[in-house]
Chain A
């Protein structure tokens, strides 16, 4: 990175768990309802109310921990004390020194491994809306509204080790974590609805030096912003250091509009949370049999699905087609096509380009891929057939016949190639001299002559054959 510095990034990702009810009460955990309808004495922190731990939340936290290769352990809850109007009890119940899962890792699609320090359970806060004034800030507002529907919603905070060194890795980490969450059904992981929120701890250093002073950027809410915020913050810190100043440990806010981070609060006025064991809850000690049952029920995770798909199609695991198709959850379709005797690579290509191709019955897709791989259909023809199959149904053979697509025989194609060479001697000369660009003109001519029915690959092969 800039001037021989490297960035050191650790991410804390808050994930809302997809439970039916809240972490400590029977109120529904539902987004988008009328404000203050999903509440009860526990949610509102009324005097005398007591928390009762939601077993489903524990199980989802365990599932996530196991998917991140963590150890599931005996854990406790603590109170994190601070005053804020949308914190009903004036403390948040959170796991602190004994989290339910710890010491795992997450492999990025390119193979880079990011350590996971812990995944701990905690309750979400309510939501304040400041009306009047500027920028939705509390200062200067006329009044504030508080919606407690979100208060008490279960969160898992996944804390990575400071292993990330590039904005792209941070983005890949968040994307991969989101893919895992969706795959295991732990969360809908919708960043735009706040069900997945990222805090980034950023510092810079010369490679090999000790960790620098870090700043925390709170609540970054898109993958793209994660990359931009980290990049901006690292540059800001480098500029500070280069100009002889010191980085001050502080909490910062990412402003999407001006593309900058801004001070929220410095360490000097950081809260003292006065953590202590939550006396209203008992130790959570999942028995090994339960843990193993949860582990056994884990679905195949995105990384493994990419590996299986890439292997079947003979492409790289982090190739765009593999990434996209697995993210869309269409990998099983492509594998099904392969199982029916189809060509996985070709099916992958069609599904990636036209998502709806996955709606075609697998057996019909298998037939189409066979026609394409055998040369009965050119790539261009196959694409048209697929579009037609999606549009109005029918088998590949019927549609190809109806469209008059027939495999061009070699002599016919050869004649067209010869004609193209004859028509464009300049281009031929340049092609023979090794200028790759010239090939385009020749292939284009053949395509035009064949009304797009020629197989580009076959044309290229013929041209190369004819090269003296």
Chain B
């Protein structure tokens, strides 16, 4: 890292204490964007002028002795499905062409209140549907660690933005693994906090009961700091939990002594040998740090994928119905209302979005509801019960985050099912609403990053961070990646 390109924690401390100017921090990151964005394509929109102006405001605050907040001067990249007032929010879809939200998402407001600087809107799989960031109306994002490979998805732009040092932290959204899987593939920390701990207000919905916003960062501490800034109850989101911000940073140093780390004995197979090997090292590391490794069973784990691909498309089919050409975004004119809807949606949505709308519409339709959506909801409860039983024996569980290291661009884009399998290990915690995170833990095949996933019961995010911190410290001793 160069002088100004540091961790968010360092930047914020330096800016708050007048050691570094926010404007310099922003310029350093804009320079990095200039240097590499052309090959990575992490952004749909870089907000250079806005970021410079905002940084100058932060510096002025420091000059007059006002504290800009926890994330003072920290550049943040936002996944382009979070509303930013007056700034295009596209979901990487043609259908939102020309739309500028008249409001900020709650997370955007909270970042601003914490003194962060929004540096750009990042690319994603259209409407967050995908595991490679190849399904974007604006073209794919490439993995900064190896440009022939995908960054994962759907928050691939946000993961790549951190990995390429365009911003020390970024926000993504995770509906079935869309933060954790790209974090693993890009070698950064990615957190999906407990459902309801971060407001979804202003996040353009994909699967409302599954979506959760979370941070990407180079370090566990940076992820903790960012999550502290954006979490906490929001009266504007009915599913928001009635509690204050998550308390994470203070607990990072608590370690794992005495913690029970669960190994799922009936985990679905499919992880490549390099990934499994790193997982074993992770178990050993935590054991050496004083944790107890316990075997647990989660028999319904493997059904998560199937249930997810009924529930998420069902909700998506309904959430995406408002993109009808009547009030905003793209419209294709036609002779009557129904033809206008059809022409607009045919032209405006990409193939994967259409596929899921069709799946979801079918799963909810009369005569099929019980067989598909209704049954998927029962499976969802079953999975929750299994996890609850496992968490009675273990404080956190360890699994791979992604079955493989980053795959090559184009490798799976013609095979939707192969693509869906990328989320095998991440999906269950979206169904249960429990938190999960991916921590970079060395490299596998082709020297590419491997992420270990830590899962915890709802509201036990701090314990998850404790374990993550221990793994991270181990990697630093080992002199490993990032």
Contact = CB atoms under 8 A, between A and B. Distances in A.
A48 B321 contact: no
A274 B235 CA distance: 29
A146 B324 CA distance: 15
Interface string B40-70: 0000000000000000000000000000000
Given A41-B102, A272-B366, A48 B202 contact: yes
B373 interface: yes
Contacts of B288: none
B337 A138 contact: yes
B322 A276 contact: no
Contacts of A279: 207-209, 239, 315
A282 B239 contact: yes
B205 interface: yes
Interface string B375-394: 00000000000000000000
Interface residues of B, number: 45
Contacts of A281: 238-239
A52 interface: yes
Given A52-B235, A138-B337, A90 B324 contact: yes
A318 B390 CA distance: 67
27 contacts: A41-B102, A41-B103, A45-B327, A46-B101, A46-B322, A47-B96, A47-B205, A47-B328, A48-B89, A48-B203, A50-B200, A50-B238, A52-B236, A52-B237, A52-B238, A81-B318, A81-B364, A85-B337, A88-B327, A274-B318, A276-B315, A276-B369, A279-B209, A279-B315, A280-B205, A280-B208, A280-B239
A79 interface: yes
Contacts of A79: 318
Interface string A138-177: 1100000010000000000000000000000000000000
A50 B201 contact: yes
A375 interface: no
B314 interface: yes
Interface string A81-101: 101010011110000000000
A281 B238 CA distance: 6
Contacts of A146: 326
Interface of B: 82-83, 89, 91, 96, 99, 101-103, 105, 200-205, 207-209, 235-239, 314-315, 317-318, 321-324, 326-328, 336-338, 341, 361, 364-366, 369, 373
A44 interface: yes
A457 B123 CA distance: 93
A138 B321 CA distance: 21
A138 B99 CA distance: 28
A88 B239 contact: no
A91 B318 contact: yes
B236 A90 contact: no
A79 B319 CA distance: 10
A185 interface: no
Nearest to B367: A272
Contacts of A52: 235-238
Given A81-B321, A274-B361, A274-B365, A50 B204 contact: no
A280 B200 CA distance: 9
A279 B211 CA distance: 11
* Main secondary structure on B side of the interface with A: loop
B47 to A, nearest CB: 18
A53 B369 CA distance: 27
Contacts of A51: 238
Given A47-B91, A51-B238, A275-B364, 10 more contacts: A46-B101, A46-B102, A47-B101, A50-B236, A139-B336, A276-B315, A276-B364, A276-B373, A279-B209, A280-B239
A287 B102 CA distance: 37
A41 B235 CA distance: 15
Interface residues of A, number: 30
Q: Residue among B91, B201, B235 with the most chain A CB within 10 A?
A: B201
B318 A83 contact: no
Contacts of B366: 272, 274
Nearest to B199: A50
A326 B323 CA distance: 50
Contacts of A139: 336
Contacts of A138: 337
A275 B374 CA distance: 11
B105 A48 contact: yes
A427 B201 CA distance: 88
B196 to A, nearest CB: 9
Interface string A42-64: 00111111111100000000000
A320 to B, nearest CB: 49
A249 to B, nearest CB: 15
A88 B314 contact: no
